[in-house]
Copies of this chain bind each other. A is one copy, B any other.
Amino acid sequence: MVVTEDLNNISNDLFTLLLYLSSRLLNPSIMLKGLALPPSHVKVIFHLAKLGPCPVSQIANHLIISRPNMTPIIDKLISEGYVDRYDDPNDRRIIMIKMTEKAHKFLHDVESDAKAQLIEKLKLLEKDDLEKIKVILPQLNDIVQKIK
């Protein structure tokens, strides 16, 4: 049976896992530095990749970016060819944002780099441990994926 103490332990372990992952394997905020686009812009593309075309304010709400700052971000992404803007026929107040092929390629490159870095670090592990996480990770992903 799962009790409050279990929830506390699991939450502690998850918190530790997040710290370990970002300090030892892949720090998202450091990964986003040194790219052709500023972090906030990359996050917008990530968001569009996950949810598809979105209204400006929905992106702002999800990424905790203030509405006024979305305008220059979207302007720059458009001028560099990463997203397109189009009107919502059902509500003329709304402007929809959609990522382009260039943005898909950009994300793919970022992801490839990140995974290449991960592989280098994973090579440092012993074979037993690699065998273990090879089994564990899919199980954990199945569970985490159910949340929300």
Number of interface residues of A (CB under 8 A): 57
Is A24 on the interface with B (CB-CB < 8 A)? yes
Known: A14-B118, A111-B15, A136-B136. A7 touches B141 (CB 8 A): no
The residues of B that contact A140 with a CB separation of less than 8 Å are 17, 133, 136-137, 140
The residues of B that contact A8 with a CB separation of less than 8 Å are 115, 119
Q: Which positions in A face B, CB cutoff 8 Å?
A: 1-2, 6-18, 20-26, 28-30, 33, 50, 64, 111, 114-115, 118-119, 121-125, 127, 129-134, 136-141, 143-148
6 pairs across A/B with beta carbons < 8 Å?
Answer: A10-B122, A15-B118, A20-B144, A124-B146, A133-B143, A136-B136
